[in-house]
Structure 1
Amino acid sequence: MKDKRNLSLVMDFYELTMSQCYFNDNKDKEVVFDLFYRKNPDDGGYCVFAGLEQVVDYVSNLHFEKEDIDYLRSLNQFSEEFLEYLSIIRFTGDIYAIPEGTPVFPHEPLVRVKAPIIEAQLVETALLLAINHQTLIATKSRRIVQASEGRAVMEFGARRAHNFDAAILGARAAYIAGCAGSATTYSGKEFGVPVLGTMAHSFIQSFDTEYDAFMYYAKTYPDACTLLIDTYSTLKSGIVNAIKVAKDYLEPNGYRLKGVRIDSGDMAYLSKKVRKMLDEAGMEDCKIVVSNSLDEYVIESLIHQQGAKIDSFGVGENLICSKNSPVFGGVYKMVAIEKDGQVIPKIKISDNVEKVTNPGMKNLNRIMDKETGMAIADLLTLEDEVIDTTQDLTIYHPMSRWKYKVIPANTYTVRDMLVPIFKDGKLVYDLPTLEEIRAYSEKELATIWDEIKRFVYPQEYYVDLSEKLLNLKLEMLKKYK
């Protein structure tokens, strides 16, 4: 989707005030930023990376209109020379990123930006907005899809989303992560997300009787008739009238009732009763859909603890807002600066160990088991390092030299996870279709061990450093402390 709005001013104001200072100092100096996150939402074991297509759209169209410059001039904080510079600015740097749909882990660069300092600074907020939101929703959606164990999950959250973009792009992220489709029609138009939906309680209330409402809908959509059965009484009225419409109209005319939906009450109890009544009526093929404040924990409980007879789930607010864990903590930190032709590593130090950054311009490698094809660990290396798979590979904990793992020679393969997106400001990446991203994500998730995917106390996935990078980090910590 090409955003028709010019979003170039969607940035924190300090990016502009800092850029005025950079302009006065040395606007052409090159810097390197990493975009990464520190903690998985919901205390999970991984995330699903999403939002890259919107990053590409933003960076490709970075420019300031005359009215933008006029507005900035009215603030009386910027020089005319700087405003003139902004009026002609375009992104001219390099961006590398992990492909959308990839399972990712804390502290590894999802996006690496190398550009003149003002350009690198100005894109910060937009990159974080695009990636923080969609990665959060894709990750939550994947957990819900995992809990459903092959039963379809439909994203029903538009009316609970935080705004238009949150609903539209949230539906995109949910589909990448495995949801069967969305109720958000706009996402169908713009992205090709399958759109799904039947009726609301108001539709049934608008008729004299529930039977009349069901019959009218069945005659309008005989090939795709799913009826909402909890407006008055699920068992005493709704399912009875649904079966009656199937017998009175659908079956005599060669159609079958596709499904019934329950939107309130005890889902496990009602689904078992409804399933029994459908089967006794010879409607074993009629599916039962449930909705109403579902998430991965409720779905898991319905399936495993209560034996619910549910074929698919409609999930709204808990998915589209990632209600249990509504913030994705992506950050954008400078890791290197170019001076006199040399790349000088930079580090951010904190008393909170998890906030200490990994310095330097880095590559991200995924180490795969040669025999099983499963991911063993992710390894951060400095850009000039080359991994020789014919040799033992030693990977180190990000803060401790004594914590390490040795991977024997010839038992592993290496994948470079950061791919070029922009080179010298030119887009060099062929954006995949949404279906391609979705299929790729499913394939990549299959390489991650189930122990890492479990909801409670997942196994921690290694994101380690090469010896050379660890030595650099420890030397810099010693120097600045």
Structure 2
Amino acid sequence: MIREQDLPLLVDLYELAMAQAYWSEGMQERAVFSLFFRDMPEHRNFVLACGQRNICEVLENLRFTDDHISRLRQLNRFQEGFLEWLRGFRFSGTVRAMPEGTPVFPQEPLLEIEAPIAEAQLLESLVMNYVHLESVLASKAVRVALAARGRSVADFGLRRMHGVDAGHRSARAYRLAGLSATSNVLAGLDFGLEVTGTMAHSFVQAYPRELEAFQVYATLYPGTTLLVDTYDSRRAVRRIVEWLKSDPDARVGAIRLDSGDLGAEAKDCRKILDDAGYQDIKIVASGGLDEYGIARLLEEGAPIDAFGVGTSIGVAVDAPSLELAYKLTQYAGEPKMKSSSGKVSYPGAKQVFRQFDSSGRVSGDIVALSHEQHDGKPLLEVVMENGRTVAGAVPPLDEQVRQADARLKALPERLLGIERAEPLRVTISEELKTLQAETLARVSV
């Protein structure tokens, strides 16, 4: 497990090698690196950008310790002078970033880092990994939340996620995406999500009689949710009804269905409960669900009040990666760009202007150079200056969640469905296109 104090070593070797080359050549001018993606994943209408401001705390605290220096020395690749430079490393640059939970589109920088080139280069893999994880998970989870049409969705994904770091930080991304609860105790406590859970089938199996397991659990946890599909869901619900009628003090808040034809079972169980007068007992569904399964169940009229979703959001199963790029766009005041086939980038420090129609819905974005002025709301704001986080730039998580919800609701209605829709119009400014053409002509010589 990676310790937070070891994050300075979470780099790819070539970043250290390039940093040493910059150091040895005396290249200390400021550079601008831009973090963006070129193409929208196939199953997404937008990417929910997360992590690009929360990483400020990580950048502030990066320090190479004596132990780090000793371990790097073992690689026999670095000069003593450079290792001493690393020992004194403190990020001194500027970070401009979009707010947490901002819907973003291709070619739009989620953040830009301006710093002496060696400093900015060292951050590449750490920044990309940090932002990639939360953005990928949030972009899947928001689709599940949208499909649930306001019903509660709980995260059940910890056990199959790719590492404990993902299992922990996912909860912050899920809150920004609109999920309401998690079964992950540590993550829920750390990031303010309701901690929820029922029981495993093993608890029911451990008792000689299914009803006895239910009675023990409901006595210990009044108002709990009972998992009813270990053997036969309908029979289990009938037994619960008989028990509740015989014991007026017993309280059950919900039943949970985790297998089989969830729609048919939910309808039958709802009827059993309603006919017995237990309309207040809710039905929770889980078991291999994703946004498509949830949408289908609700379209069929399944009387399900809440959902538990695990693997599909925990590993973002249909789009588990985002082709993030961290590219040099300016050095020593001169625009820089990549021009290889299929990966042409835009030079210069940038700004994204989000435009709205008369109803307050997003009508389009303009990607422009940072000094340009356009109609709309500029999305990139200075969040770190001289290596320190700007006061108020990273608001409390509750406020981030509130703002993210407002940004989502401002999107065009077509983008808030789970089927692929006509993309948002993203315009490249004429000045940026001109600078790209001029830079391309210069680097092609």
Same fold flag (TM > 0.5): yes
1:417 maps to which residue?
379
1:266-305 paired onto structure 2 within 5 Å: 266-304=261-299
How far the C-alpha of 1:248 sits from its partner, in A, is 2.9
Counterpart CA distance in 1 for 2:252 and 2:245 is: 9
Counterpart CA distance in 2 for 1:312 and 1:195 is: 14
Counterpart CA distance in 2 for 1:452 and 1:235 is: 38
CA offsets per residue over residues 166-216 of structure 1, 9 Å max, x none?
111112211210011111101122222211101111111122211111111
How far the C-alpha of 1:45 sits from its partner, in A, is 1.4
CA offsets per residue over residues 252-298 of structure 1, 9 Å max, x none?
22x64210001111101111111111110101111110111110111
How far the C-alpha of 1:5 sits from its partner, in A, is 3.5
1:443 maps to which residue?
406
Contact kept in structure 1, 2:5 and 2:63, CA below 8 Å: no
Q: Secondary structure at the match of 1:32?
A: strand
* 2:200 partner amino acid: A
How far the C-alpha of 1:301 sits from its partner, in A, is 1.1
1:359 maps to which residue?
347
Q: Is the alpha carbon distance of 1:106 and 1:234 closer, same or farther for their aligned partners in structure 2, counting shifts above 3 Å? A: same
**How many equivalent residue pairs?**
441
Contact kept in structure 2, 1:44 and 1:453, CA below 8 Å: no
Counterpart CA distance in 2 for 1:121 and 1:214 is: 57
Does structure 1 residue 456 correspond to structure 2 residue 419? yes
Greater shift in the superposed pair: 110-119 or 166-175: 166-175
How far the C-alpha of 1:440 sits from its partner, in A, is 1.0
Counterpart CA distance in 1 for 2:409 and 2:96 is: 24
Q: Is the alpha carbon distance of 1:172 and 1:151 closer, same or farther for their aligned partners in structure 2, counting shifts above 3 Å? A: same
CA offsets per residue over residues 331-372 of structure 1, 9 Å max, x none?
10000011xxxx1111111221xx211111111211122x21
Does structure 1 residue 331 correspond to structure 2 residue 325? yes
Counterpart CA distance in 2 for 1:183 and 1:5 is: 28
1:229 maps to which residue?
228
What's the TM-score once normalised by structure 2's chain length?
A: 0.96
Contact kept in structure 1, 2:50 and 2:138, CA below 8 Å: yes
1:210 maps to which residue?
210
* 1:233 partner amino acid: D
Unaligned runs of 5+ in 1: 390-413
Instruction: State which of 340, 346, 349 in structure 2 corresponds to 1:350.
Output: 340
2:180 maps to which residue?
180
Q: Secondary structure at the match of 2:420?
A: coil
* 1:415 partner amino acid: K
2:242 maps to which residue?
244
2:432 maps to which residue?
469
Q: Secondary structure at the match of 1:259?
A: strand
Counterpart CA distance in 1 for 2:219 and 2:42 is: 45
What's the TM-score once normalised by structure 1's chain length?
A: 0.89
Q: Secondary structure at the match of 2:338?
A: coil
Counterpart CA distance in 2 for 1:425 and 1:454 is: 40
Counterpart CA distance in 1 for 2:53 and 2:112 is: 15
Counterpart CA distance in 1 for 2:60 and 2:319 is: 32
Contact kept in structure 1, 2:289 and 2:309, CA below 8 Å: yes
CA offsets per residue over residues 213-236 of structure 1, 9 Å max, x none?
1111111111x3211000111112
2:79 maps to which residue?
79
Contact kept in structure 2, 1:16 and 1:122, CA below 8 Å: yes
Contact kept in structure 2, 1:264 and 1:292, CA below 8 Å: yes
Instruction: State which of 354, 364, 372 in structure 2 corresponds to 1:377.
Output: 364
1:310 maps to which residue?
304
How far the C-alpha of 1:479 sits from its partner, in A, is 4.2
How far the C-alpha of 1:316 sits from its partner, in A, is 0.1
Q: Secondary structure at the match of 2:366?
A: strand
1:110-121 paired onto structure 2 within 5 Å: 110-121=110-121
Q: Between the two proteins, what is the percent identity of the paired residues? A: 37
How far the C-alpha of 1:103 sits from its partner, in A, is 1.1
How far the C-alpha of 1:447 sits from its partner, in A, is 1.0
How far the C-alpha of 1:472 sits from its partner, in A, is 1.4
CA offsets per residue over residues 97-140 of structure 1, 9 Å max, x none?
00101111111010100000111001111111111010011110
Q: Secondary structure at the match of 2:114?
A: strand
Counterpart CA distance in 2 for 1:313 and 1:158 is: 16
Q: Which consecutive segments of 4 or more residues in structure 1 shift more than 6 A? A: none
Contact kept in structure 1, 2:30 and 2:331, CA below 8 Å: yes
* 1:432 partner amino acid: P
Q: Is the alpha carbon distance of 1:226 and 1:245 closer, same or farther for their aligned partners in structure 2, counting shifts above 3 Å? A: farther
Counterpart CA distance in 2 for 1:425 and 1:457 is: 40
Contact kept in structure 1, 2:100 and 2:400, CA below 8 Å: yes
Contact kept in structure 1, 2:253 and 2:282, CA below 8 Å: yes
CA offsets per residue over residues 71-92 of structure 1, 9 Å max, x none?
1111110000000000011000
Counterpart CA distance in 2 for 1:286 and 1:33 is: 54
2:390 maps to which residue?
428
* 2:272 partner amino acid: M
1:135-146 paired onto structure 2 within 5 Å: 135-146=135-146
Q: CA RMSD in A?
A: 1.5
How far the C-alpha of 1:33 sits from its partner, in A, is 0.3
Contact kept in structure 2, 1:420 and 1:429, CA below 8 Å: no
* 1:323 partner amino acid: V
Counterpart CA distance in 1 for 2:172 and 2:11 is: 23
Counterpart CA distance in 1 for 2:197 and 2:50 is: 25
* 1:462 partner amino acid: R
Unaligned runs of 5+ in 2: none
Counterpart CA distance in 2 for 1:27 and 1:86 is: 15
Q: Secondary structure at the match of 1:380?
A: strand
Q: Secondary structure at the match of 1:456?
A: coil
Contact kept in structure 2, 1:55 and 1:126, CA below 8 Å: no
1:162-201 paired onto structure 2 within 5 Å: 162-201=162-201
Counterpart CA distance in 2 for 1:245 and 1:163 is: 42
* 1:183 partner amino acid: S
Contact kept in structure 1, 2:175 and 2:401, CA below 8 Å: yes
